[in-house]
Structure 1
Amino acid sequence: MFNSIHKQILSTLILVSLLNILFLGTITLVYGNNALRESTVTSARFAREAMVQTLEKDITSADKIISSLTSLIDDELDPTRIHDPDYLQFLMDSWDSHVKRLAQNHLLSHTAYIYLNPELTGRVFDIFYADQNGDALVERQSNIPLSYFREGPLPTDAKQWWFEAIDKNTSNWTRPYSWTFDNGKAIEVVSLTKAYHIDGTLFAVVGTEITYENVKRATTEMRLLDNGYAFLLNGEREPLIYPDDGTYAYFKAAFDEVVPAELSEFNYKIKNQKKHAFTQTLGNGWILGVQFTSKDFFTPGRQYILIIAGTMFLSLIQSILFAHFMSRYLSKPLLDISSLLQNSSPVSGDLSIPKTIIARQDEIGIVAKSLVIMSEDIKSHIKIINRQSSNLQFLKQFDELTGLPNETHFKKIVANSILASPETQRFIIIINIDGFRLLNGLFGVHVCNQLLTSVAERLESLKKENYQISRLSGDEFILCHQALQPVPLIVSHLQSMLGGVYHIGDETIHISVSIGISTYPAHSEDISQLIKFATIALNHCKVNKESDWSVYAPSVADLSSEQFQMLRELKEAILKDEFILNIQPQFNVNTGKIVGGEVLLRWFNKNQYVPPNIFIPLSEESKQILPIGEFVLKETIKIQRDLKSKGIHIRLAVNISVQQLTWQQIYHQLKYAMSPFGLRPEDLSLEITESTLLHANQEAREVLHALRQDGFRIEVDDFGTGYSSLSYIKKFDFDTLKLDRMFIKDYPHSDDGAIASMIVTLANKLKVNLIAEGMENVDQVNFLKESGCEIMQGYYFSRPLEVKEFVRLLEEQARDASD
């Protein structure tokens, strides 16, 4: 319609300006108020939700501390000894590290404490860990004097953490109060405490804290319009955080009329000023809210409408008065920029727009500046993309923890090496750190990651010997090396270099490694197959324990996939609660009474029973016997604790593997696991097979001797089935021989019982106890009874029983004895 840009710009500006004024004015008048109100309400709700999430996280963290402290008392307290000062001191010493760890991990205040009721003993027992210096390191605080508890509550609320917890008899959140640390530093806190009772008697108060500063920060960091603010009330609707402006009474009167609900929104007036409040009840009963005045709804909107109207009016006038000048003013710069864009590459950074155009303050100047900025941004983003691409490329080829090539990159390196000299023989070597899972449990993931890094650093030194090195996964590394030396020499070199002592921080860790090897091209020319064969060789030496290294051979691969699968499932059996204990009673044949029991482990894998003769050898070969043995000991001690609480005193026997016979394993476990429950060493017998006894190393012998000196009974299981001489047996300290069923199972049909009778005589001569196993008929029982054997077990008397059935028999026996 218009051929000139001047007329096009003039008519377009007038028309657009008029339409904008009409449209924006209508929208603003019709929808503005509601939209502004809804926006304000949404902002208030969002602010409330954000603060709720922050506070709920803090509350949940404190609840977990309380739960952990009460669980600690539940698990380890003997309720019958709460008036024994020595026992209480022992408990507090054993709980110290647990409370310290909870305090250290509690990021809100780094505090956790247990205060025992001083009225139980007339003494104060407490553990209070806190970060008193602000360096995130907790220290144990000194004991509170006994007078503190006997003087009663203070009007300053400084003792509410103790007295309110006792009065309410449930988890109690205090009002803010000031607490002074040993170093004299005072801090304002809110405490979560809980009283712990035993049969109506106060035993202790456990607690932790949130600094009042954290609570205030959570409710004041977010801006709420011009005049809005957040507030926090406790469960009794008393202010924890509220502006000191004299308005709380008005608010409380309005809030008291609101029906209690998790979420509440209501209005009220203060001196003709309408206020809007939004509240939410937190998990601990606190009430978080935000509030603001009515004029906060509309003040920004009125200003915005005036600005828009003024701008539109000025735009209309300007468009009419200056259209002619603007058309010429705009046309030439636009044509110049267009020409530059056609002839320049913004990505390369050579976009040279004249400074006169860039200096313009109008839209053309903005466009020019934007084009320059866009060009620079594109170049900057390209640099970032290139850098990220480089990092991504690194992660695709290298292990993030150790910086070694990953398996994919290793395969490429080895493939290129083979391609360069295919006639050269090479070894593919997989190295595994022995017992790494146990190290993870002992020292933690962080220390073990540093250990892996240290191993990788030692492996890096092999590059000068033309090794290709990679981290395969977990605690496994893979190497490729030309076969220039015999395998034993290479293995010896690697084991001496990698094995031994590592100093990681304050920890000293001793490791050994197992090695699996395959050969190129003898075993395969495919690198993936060579890695698979080396893995099979490694698994072979780990399972069979014939050596700590193995070279792949077809016979090595005979270990069935079922066994490997069973190994994987065996590692998870304890976590999945697949292990249960049975107990086979041991009877005194002269009295007919149960005098003991042998604890037997049963495994139900996916509800299918797995015989012990299948999984026990496999667990010993793979060292899974260590966590399994620890599980059996802990469960047996719990059984004995329950029997003691019922007044039943009986000895239980536990089978011990040779791998458990170390100071760090069974000695440490037994030394510190029984006394907290009031158990004596005489309550537990340790069954060691004859073959274990014969092949025990020096440490195992010393551990056995120390355990027997401490009072634990040592039983030699399967006696007579090994190849021991009598002179060798006499070198060991033990209390009981167990006659294996093989010496009596065929009596009286094809066995006259001579060997069994001889073993009974031998036990009497050695002045040790004798227990006969595998009794199946009355003839066997009578024969051994006449030979002088009193204690027997077997299906003739009872099959292995579930724990509750075994306990029921003992309870019946105890009732019969009392009658």
Structure 2
Amino acid sequence: MKLRTRLPLLVIPLIAGPLLLAGLLAFIALRQSAEQKSTDQISALVSRLDDQLQLLSHVATANIDIFSDDPLVKSYLLTSDAEERYDLLQRPLLQKLASIQRVYPDYYEIRILQPDGFEDLRLQNRDQPNLTEEEADSPGFLAMRHADQDTLVRIGINPDNQELALYVSRRISLINPAFESFSTPPKLRGYLSLTISLQSLLENLSPSPWPQGSLILTDAQGTLLAASQEIDSARLLGDYDLSPGITVLQSKSQIDLHGQSYQHHVKCLMDGLWLHLLIPEADLFKESRNIGLLVLLICLVAISISVPLLLVLIRNRFLKPVERLNQALAAMGKQSQLIQVPVQSEDEIGELSRSFNRMSLDLHQSSEQIHNLAFRDSLTGLPNRLMFIKTLRREIETARQRRGRFALLFLDLDNFKHVNDTLGHPAGDQLLIKVTEIFQSNLRGYDYLSRPVGIEVDRDMARLGGDEFTLLLNHPEAEHLAGPVAERVIKALSEPIDLDGTACYVGCSVGIAIYPDDGRTVEDLVKHADLAMYQAKARGRSTYQFFSSAIAAHSQQRVLLDQRLHTAVETLNFQLHYQPIIDSRSMRVVSVEALIRWNDPELGQVPPDRFIPLAEENGLILPIGAWVMEEAARQLAAWKKAGLPPLRVAINVSSLQLGQSGFARQITQVLNKYQLSAGDLYVELTETAVLQGREQVLENLYALRSLGIQIALDDFGTGYSSLSYLQTLPIDILKIDRSFILNLQENNNGVILSAIITMAHSLGMQVVAEGVEDHDHLAFLIAEGCDLLQGYLFSTPLPAGEIERLLNLPLPEVI
């Protein structure tokens, strides 16, 4: 059998069966919903009637207790003389009872009965005959007379008007104080009875929620007391006896009346009063039956429409997918974008489509991965150096053809190495990711004036490697916008960056090169932007710098200086000069500070403040520092051997040296090599080296202290000058920066110097004053108790041979 024939045979039962089943389930659910709705309505109605009746009964019971306790009622019943009772008390009592009826108009009969059942007094607010003046044998009086409690509540038909009424009666027993003692048991004096209209209750019976149904009130024997007025309940019931349903407090049954099925609900409202609800099942399930027929009609219409439509859809979904797969296979070999076909079925065609999609996706992802590996930075997702070079080359070509201009910004993080070394490489990677996010949030499409500049971070920004980034600013006003954009980046990175609870400050320096002014090739633009960035760092970091010819010249000088410094390190072409340090009490030279000097054959005398920062930057400070330590120890050993007076040598140490794990061991080896003691040398370091120190720096400082080598803090007052590290770090000597001494008379420097000397002494430190150049400086420092003095007043830094001569001269000749 062909598929064209099989499809209708399979589709028709598959569609018709579920639809018909759904219709049947819907009909059942609707029928159950109708029954539940009816039950809820019945419960609500019964609760409303029950609550109303209970409320009426409770209020009447409370009221009759109050009424029977009224002194006028008591006096009336205690007066045995009928003539006296009628003449003196009946009128005021009637007025009293009339006032009660005005408040409670439903109490349409208020009666007082004698103990023998004679109705002694009646007050009614209706025009109706009194047919029951003598009630000694009436069922109501007999029930009241034999009741276990003083108050009796009952439902019954009022014989005077044949209406259903609520009777509330109160037995009144009193002591006559005029003739009886208070210890005498109270005697029955009569009864107070309220006849209460139930009209408000009966009004709830009509209209019935079910037009063909009926609500009926009966007594315990099933006698009809009241009913809703939509239909003739008596005719509806005919000879049917309602009493069999009065067996439990609440029941439900199904009965047949005049050939029609009814649901019979029975509920006891109170003793002697029962509520019957007769609901035709035809009315009850009419709505669900109509909706069920509608559902059946909808199912048939759905079958007649869906079957032909589904046949067409299946035909299209079997034949056309094959054609789409063929077309997709042909296109996949010609196009680079992702090719996918829709999966429309779960059969072999659908599986074939999914397999094709998986194959196409894998090929596309592999292609994207290869592209990303080649052109994207794996950490930040930004274009890498290779992609940047391609983009920059394309921008140069476009600008050359259109005679355009653009700016290249070279960005370098200022404090990344410190964060990376201190917190570890994972923290450094996290920092780079967050920095990239900051770039994206601050550069996406706008400069600092919120003017569109066409920046697309994922396209125009690149990470060249490490902490270096580049940004292409392609805009007609790029030359004017580059500075504000750089300021915006620098400002954004000036805020602390949270790395797992640690606030890190990195900052950023930016170099800017403009095409074509600063270069027409990729190499020139990158080189010049890089040079401008280094100039920005030299200016104090966290700033930007445009490239200029002066920067190029400075760069050439820097390159030459770097080359010559490497040569000097290889040949050890350095000398040490020594500047004396004087004891302020004995005015004798007690130590010297070793200061490096470099006289290059090509550059001449190069100042330390020029080559030392370069050496710290390129790492040459480590071999230079090792040479200084070795040479200073050798010279000190030679002086000792020559019999010169005892002398100590201070050696300046870089933070990079302190960051080496074997630094303390290195000093120990040098001391042992030249047979020196720990007290012969002490090290000097700057505040910056301490504050930027890592854990290894602090470990080395404490190791030096444990060896007995003293530590001097140089240039105190020029850095952060935090008092906390003076208390916690192993510092023995405090060297006050020469700027305080030279400007002694300015800006309260004298007061500050006095405070520093006093503070250092209180912490157990010695104080060295640098820059002592005249006798006024000397006199002030001696008066303030400064321990050690150093400056041109005594001597400039001298070669070792001249230090020997200086030590042999009397001090007055030195000054």
TM bracket (short chain): 0.3 to 0.5
Greater radius of gyration (CA): 2
TM-score (norm 2): 0.36
